[in-house]
Homo-oligomer: A and B are copies of this chain.
Amino acid sequence: MTNQDLPTLHSWVSVPKNSDFTIYNLPFGIFQSKRLSARVGIAIGDKIVDLSVLHEEGFFADLTQLPHDIFLRDALNDFIALGKPVTRRVREKVQELLLDTNDALKEHTCRGKAMVNRTEAQMLMPVKVGDYTDFYSSIEHATNVGTMFRDPNNALLPNWKHLPVGYHGRASSIIPSGVPIYRPKGQYKDPNMEVPEFGPSRRLDFELEMAFIVGKTTKMGDSVSTDQAEDHIFGMVLFNDWSARDIQAWEYVPLGPFLGKSFASSISPWVVTMEALEHFRVKGPEQDVPVLPYLACEADHAFDIQLEVFIQPEESTASKVCTSNFKYMYWNIAQQLAHHTINGCNVNVGDMMASGTISGSTPDSFGSMLELAWKGTKPLTLEEGVERKFIEDGDTVIMKGFCEKEGIRIGFGEVSSKVLPAK
């Protein structure tokens, strides 16, 4: 994998300055509208290319592996399962068709039908998630949490630098941007309580994460090497791993987080492909403890993705509360997938694996309210003087992510979700 200069490309579709959806990006998603059933699209500027129309009109005629209705499904799984040689070629073909030097689509009678306004589309879940795994791969986040809840001098547990710690999460409650969530109810027991109490969580939090989507199914007993791993990954999304800190703190020993997480996780709906991310590949942090051979990497598997979190209280303006970067991750996605399958665990197309909270080293780069407001001891002051220790009812949490280098920008759009009072 090389990190070479990209040629300069221009599209006949007008792309607003600072758009995440440039001709270099071309992410895949599932959309529907008042007149259109769920289908596969590619975003460019403020438009969505309806791939079902292009396919119907014969633009993919040379790709004989494409079933006739492959773009009229309500999830990308079947498309992704066709394999990278096919999915990559579809994206390249769309890129060719969108170039300002190419009239084939621009001047075609189907152009009006093929180009849908993003404002008229509702984005759905891009994939059916079979299994969802959450890692814990930011050393800054793990250190912050260990410092707060255990021992500042031994913040990291002994296994942390030897393997990418992870756990299974709930797949059913992963929802796309725009779907509101209900504040979860549950048990909590603060140190001052004799017995646990029950009610709506008082410490609702976000976690700034990214997730990759598995692109290739493996069999039980098989493992994926770090070298092969990215070939098994289709693309990435932004991931808000909603967390109820009070519920989590009481329930999580000894078997890990459960109801403190399972009520909802929100994702950005456009899947940015590994091909689009290629230009933003960077070296990750030095791993200062030697890893076992199955976790060693020949190549770089980190990506320079700038991340931001905003909180928008009801009837107020949005405030940026965090600026972080995916490249801070101590454990990379190749190591995560290699570790996940080293025991022979089979993975399926559409499985989602999230990074864990992505914190940086400075306080403004911490990826959760738990860390930003340091367990409630340092409330954040937002625009218009609003204070926050955790997330309140009516707040909307917005996460954004984008890559920028040498005048080229690609991005993830956003994952935005409003918190409704407990039901």
Confirm or deny: A10 has a beta carbon within 8 angstroms of a beta carbon on chain B.
Answer: no
A254 touches B251 (CB 8 A): no
A165 contacts across to B, CB distance below 8 A: 251, 254-255, 258
A163 touches B182 (CB 8 A): no
Confirm or deny: A47 has a beta carbon within 8 angstroms of a beta carbon on chain B.
Answer: no
With the chains together, A252 CA to B198 CA distance in Å? Answer: 28
A257 touches B259 (CB 8 A): no
B344 touches A256 (CB 8 A): no
**A129-186: which residues lie under 8 A (CB-CB) from chain B?**
130-131, 136, 157-159, 162-163, 165-173, 175, 181-182, 184-186
B162 touches A196 (CB 8 A): yes
A372 contacts across to B, CB distance below 8 A: none
Confirm or deny: A79 has a beta carbon within 8 angstroms of a beta carbon on chain B.
Answer: no
B264 touches A172 (CB 8 A): no
A189 contacts across to B, CB distance below 8 A: 158-159, 162
A130-B171, A168-B258 are known contacts. Are A343 and B250 too (CB-CB below 8 A)?
A: no
Among the 9-residue stretches A22-30, A53-61, A301-309, A346-354, the one with 4 or more Cβ atoms under 8 Å from chain B is A346-354
With the chains together, A257 CA to B294 CA distance in Å? Answer: 20
Confirm or deny: A339 has a beta carbon within 8 angstroms of a beta carbon on chain B.
Answer: yes
Confirm or deny: A292 has a beta carbon within 8 angstroms of a beta carbon on chain B.
Answer: yes
Q: Smallest CB–CB gap between A211 and chain B, Å?
A: 15
Name the prevailing secondary structure of the A interface residues.
loop
Question: Which of B166, B198, B293 has a CB less than 8 Å from the CB of A258?
Answer: B166
Question: Which of B131, B220, B256 has a CB less than 8 Å from the CB of A256?
Answer: B256
Confirm or deny: A21 has a beta carbon within 8 angstroms of a beta carbon on chain B.
Answer: no
Confirm or deny: A382 has a beta carbon within 8 angstroms of a beta carbon on chain B.
Answer: no
Q: Smallest CB–CB gap between A172 and chain B, Å?
A: 5
Confirm or deny: A19 has a beta carbon within 8 angstroms of a beta carbon on chain B.
Answer: no
Q: Which of A157, A172, A182 has the most CB of B within 10 A?
A: A172
Q: Mark A327-348, 1 if CB is under 8 A from B, else 0.
A: 0000000000001101111111
- Residues on A facing B (Cβ under 8 Å): 130-131, 136, 157-159, 162-163, 165-173, 175, 181-182, 184-187, 189, 195-196, 198, 220-223, 244, 247, 250-260, 262-264, 292-294, 339-340, 342-348, 351, 422-423
What are 22 pairs between A and B in contact, CB < 8 Å?
A130-B171, A159-B189, A159-B250, A162-B187, A162-B189, A163-B187, A163-B250, A163-B251, A172-B346, A172-B348, A173-B345, A184-B344, A185-B223, A185-B344, A186-B342, A198-B292, A256-B257, A259-B345, A262-B340, A263-B345, A264-B344, A344-B422
Question: 12 other contacts beyond A252-B255, A263-B345, with CB at 8 A cut-off?
Answer: A162-B195, A167-B167, A168-B169, A170-B345, A173-B346, A185-B343, A186-B342, A220-B264, A244-B343, A254-B256, A259-B339, A259-B342
List of 8 A-B pairs having minimum Cβ-Cβ separation, nearest first? A256-B256, A184-B343, A182-B221, A168-B168, A167-B255, A262-B345, A259-B343, A221-B423
